Amino acid sequence: MKETKLTFIADTHHFSKTLSDGGRQYKLRSGSDQKCLMETGDIVDAAFRQIAQSDTEAVMIVGDLTNNGERVSHEEFREKLYTLQKDKPVYVITATHDWCSDENPRRYIGDAVYRDVPVMASDELRDFYFDFGPKDADSEFITHLGTTSYTVDIGEDVRLLALNDDQSGRGGAGFSEEHYQWIEAQIAKAKADGRILIGMEHHMLIAHIHPLIFGGSCVAEREKVATRLADAGLKYMFVGHSHIQCIDTFTTKNGNTITEVNVGSLVGYPAPIVNVTVCDEGLKIDVDHVKTFTYEGKEIDALPYLEKHATDLFDRVMEGALISKKEFVDRLSALGVKGDHFGNLVYVVRPLAKGYFGAKAGSVVKLLRLLGCKSCIDAKAAEKFKDKPLLDFVHETWLSMLDGHGRGVHDKDYYNLVMSVGNALVHLRAEPLTLKIRQMLHNILTNDRFENAIL
């Protein structure tokens, strides 16, 4: 077969700069998110320039095009798509953030938050993005929300199955029975036409890392949906939504396997541009990243900037506790937690925050030994990392999940030391939750299937 080169990006979440003046409320909002807000337009521009200069044959965007369905964000984003389309065919699907399904679009001016932002309705999206999918579609299915799923041929051998899975009609993300039947017909048709079918939908079929974190981010009844698609013959699905990089497989009782590639958010660390070469060996994955972007007149090295933005999310509440009760409450509230209800927690969090920012791994190991968890600790690993700040471990664990480069894969001692914490938790209290946390830590530290993957 002839090689076909494709590019997938996800969760561009474009936020129009007209929706903020960069004041206090904006800073609280931006500081409570792993991905960027005001920077999105500049990151997307940089990514599109990189992609336009690459040898890819088509660009796919896996939903959540805008921050929260704001009409102005959609209008600006579509202009960027038209620019990219001058060099590459572009196919998009929309997702729940594109029609503000949580009814929470906001603009941030100084100390005030306004909820008067005009948004796009779900049944407007298909026509609005007509030039980026439906126009070239061979077959199309319009959902009860008015959103579109479609198929389109790319190159000589590949067909894209672009699915809108916002609502199944039975509660949660997924597909109605009519939608399933259309999908199954498309899978059969691709087989009959001798085309390799590649699926994309926004929500996940597989709870990557652990159901404790991402179970709720999947389509409803995820195993049933994955089974139905895999048993119909679909082998590949590209998804977004979780904002993490991960590849996993699901095998049905009948022995059919579907591989899911979870593409991280373009506007958060690590700004992934996932290149896929479809060839005789299968699908070869090669991840590129946005290199630099220009924001407020300055050229910014994307990865360190986005890494800091992502790790700040963890640190800001702790830092708030050290500043004042008000700052702690405001930063908690920005995370969507009812800060007012938990304000007095500041007196408990404050000493913990001092440890969080100041402690070395050696002190944590000492504490675990005092708690009677000596047998859980790998002594060699503890000695090797005794002077490494605790904060680094927290950040690196979080980044391992986001970028799909598990920090425990290439360093056994690192893995053993972090797992000592999970083992100690189980030692102190062996119950379903602590067992899940230990398993989750293992999965994060070993999340490393993206590098040079062949599906």
Chain residues that interact with Fe ion, rule: CB under 5 A: 11, 64, 241
Pairing of β 236-239 and β 246-251: unpaired
CB of 147 to Fe ion, least distance (A): 14
To the nearest whole angstrom, how small is the minimum distance from the Cβ of residue 202 to Fe ion? 6
Q: Least distance in Å: CB of 89 to Fe ion?
A: 23
- Residue with Cβ nearer Fe ion (5 or 13): 13
Is the CB of residue 310 less than 8 Å from the CB of residue 268? yes
Angle at 263 between CA 251 and CA 17, to 5 degrees: 150
Q: What is the nearest approach in angstroms of Fe ion to the Cβ of residue 12?
A: 9
**175 CB-near residues (< 8 Å, 6+ apart):** 163, 165, 168, 183, 219, 225
Pairwise CA distance, residues 329 & 324, whole Å: 9
Exposure pattern of 2-29 as b/e (b: 16+ CB <10 Å)?
Answer: eebbbbbbbbbbbbbbebbeeeebbebb
Q: Which is nearer to Fe ion, 11 or 76 (CB)?
A: 11
Contact 271, 43 (CB under 8 A): yes
Neighbouring-strand partners of residue 14: 66
Q: Based on the number of CB atoms within 10 Å of its own CB, is 409 exposed (0-12), middle (13-18) or buried (19 or more)? A: middle
Give the integer Cα–Cα distance in Å for 338 and 425.
28
| Closest CB 65 distance from Fe ion, rounded Å | 10
Smaller CB distance to Fe ion: residue 196 or 261? 261
Q: CB of residue 74 vs Fe ion: minimum separation in angstroms?
A: 15
CB of 35 to Fe ion, least distance (A): 8
**CB nearer to Fe ion: pick between 95 and 417:** 95
> Which spans in 233-378 are helix H?
302-323, 325-334, 339-342, 346-358, 361-370
CB of 164 to Fe ion, least distance (A): 12
What is the closest distance, in whole angstroms, from the C-beta atom of residue 241 to Fe ion in the complex?
Answer: 4
Residue (33 or 448) nearer to Fe ion, CB: 33
Whole-angstrom Cα distance, residue 293 to residue 45?
8
**Smallest distance, Fe ion to C-beta of residue 203, A:** 7
Q: Which is nearer to Fe ion, 264 or 408 (CB)?
A: 264
With beta carbons less than 8 A apart as the criterion, state whether 146 and 123 touch: yes
Residue in this structure with the two tokens 């969090």, named with its chain if needed: 349
Say how many C-beta atoms besides its own lie within 10 A of residue 379's C-beta: 11
* Nearer residue to Fe ion within complex by CB, 64 or 327: 64
Residue 11 or 307 having the CB closest to Fe ion: 11
Could you say which DSSP state residue 160 is in?
Answer: E
**What are the CA-CA distances from residue 69 to residues 312, 428, 437 (Å)?**
25, 46, 34
